[in-house]
Structure 1
Amino acid sequence: MYDQILVPTDGSDTAEAAVEHALDLAEQYGATVHALYVVDTDSMSLSLGGEQLDRIEQGRYGEMEEVRERADRATGYVADRARDRGLETVEHVSAGKPHSLIANYIDDQDVDLVVMGSHGRSGIRRALLGSVTERTLRSTHVPVLVVDVEDTD
Structure 2
Amino acid sequence: MYERILVPTDGSKVAQAAVDQAIDIAEKYGAEVHALFVADVDAVAYGLGTEQVDRIKQGNFQGMTDLREDAQEATDYVTERAEAADLTAVERHAGGRPHDVIADYTADNDIDLIVMGSHGRSGIRRALLGSVTERTLRSTHVPVLVVDYVED
* TM-score, L = length of structure 1: 0.89
SS of residue paired to 1:145? strand
Structure 2 partner of 1:79: 79
> Deviations 1:65-124 (Å, cap 9, x if unpaired)?
22111101100000001100100100001110000000000000000000011149xxxx
Q: CA deviation at 1:130?
A: 5.5
Retained in 2: the 8 A contact 1:117–1:133?
yes
**Structure 2 unaligned spans of 5+:** none
Retained in 1: the 8 A contact 2:119–2:132?
no
Retained in 2: the 8 A contact 1:5–1:22?
yes
Q: What is the distance in 2 between the residues matched to 1:114 and 1:59?
A: 20
Aligned AA (1:73)? E
Q: CA deviation at 1:54?
A: 1.6
Retained in 1: the 8 A contact 2:118–2:130?
no
Q: Which has the higher helix share?
A: 1
Q: What is the distance in 1 between the residues matched to 2:6 and 2:119?
A: 19
Structure 2 partner of 1:53: 53
Aligned AA (1:29)? Y
Q: What is the distance in 2 between the residues matched to 1:89 and 1:117?
A: 19
SS of residue paired to 2:20? helix
Q: What is the distance in 1 between the residues matched to 2:54 and 2:11?
A: 23
Structure 1 partner of 2:67: 67
Q: What is the distance in 1 between the residues matched to 2:147 and 2:130?
A: 17
Q: What is the distance in 1 between the residues matched to 2:59 and 2:93?
A: 8
Retained in 1: the 8 A contact 2:4–2:113?
yes
1:17 and 2:17 aligned: yes
RMSD of aligned Cα (Å): 2.1
| Aligned pairs for 1:1-153 within 5 A | 1-119=1-119, 126=126, 131-150=131-150, 153=152
SS of residue paired to 1:73? helix
Aligned AA (1:143)? P
Q: What is the distance in 2 between the residues matched to 1:130 and 1:15?
A: 12
Q: What is the distance in 2 between the residues matched to 1:59 and 1:130?
A: 23
The size of the alignment, in residue pairs, is 148
Q: What is the distance in 2 between the residues matched to 1:132 and 1:75?
A: 18
Identity within the alignment, %: 61
Q: Are the structure 2 counterparts of residues 60 and 112 from structure 1 closer, same or farther at C-alpha, using a change threshold of 3 Å?
A: closer
Q: What is the distance in 2 between the residues matched to 1:67 and 1:25?
A: 29
SS of residue paired to 1:38? strand
